[in-house]
Structures are given as C-alpha cells and as structure tokens.
Amino acid sequence: MFSKEVTILNATGLHARPASMFVQEAGKYKSEINVIKDGKKINAKSIMGIMAGGISKDTVVTVEADGEDEEQAVNALVELIESKFGEE
C-alpha cells in the first residue's frame, strides 16, 4: 500500500474533464486505486464515483494504491492533480 496526500488546485475540482483525465490515468495501472475524502474511499477508476465524490478546489484528498505498480500510480495521479490538469 502506497499513498500521498494532495490538495486539489484547479478551479473546477474533480468534475467533468479533470475527472475524466484522472480516471483515464488511473485505468493505466494494475493496482487498486482509491481517492480518500473525509474518510470515504472512492474508486479512482470509476468516473461516476469520482464525479459523485464532490471533490472541489482546495479539498485535501489522499490518493492510495495497492498492487504491483502502486507507487507509479500514486505518483502519476498526484502529478496530474498538481499540474491542475493542464487547465491553468
């Protein structure tokens, strides 16, 4: 299990386009990946889960992965969040 805490920086949070990019990136990895917000685990590979998670700007979430490529997966997803999904 590998995890990192990260703050959502882009203006729209994890909605629509950023959520789609996040889920696509998560789907590239074999590990089980979750986003933890307020103690609730959300499957990072589920567009509906991510969209329904209400993850807005300035929300602090934990990205965790468990599996053979867990470290790569978490680092790539945290990098995507920190780049503001290329929005700004």
88 located within any domain: no
**CATH number for position 15:** 3.30.1340.10
Structurally, the chain folds into a number of domains equal to 1
Task: Report pLDDT for 52.
Answer: 96
Tell me the three state secondary structure of residue 28.
Answer: coil
With a pLDDT cut of 70, the percent of the chain lying above it is 100
Question: What pLDDT score was predicted for residue 78?
Answer: 98
- Residue 41, helix vs strand vs coil: strand
Answer whether residue 21 is part of any domain: yes
pLDDT average, residue stretch 29-44: 98
**Residue 2 predicted with pLDDT over 90:** yes
Report which residue type is found at 9: L
Strands 2-7 and 32-37: unpaired
Instruction: Give the residue numbers annotated as catalytic, written as ranges.
Output: 15
Q: Which two tokens stand for residue 30?
A: 């074999």
pLDDT exceeds cutoff 90 at 87: no
Query: What's the domain range around 50?
Result: 2-83
As a whole number, mean pLDDT of residues 62-86 equals 97
Cα pseudo-dihedral 76, 78, 83, 86, rounded to 10? 60
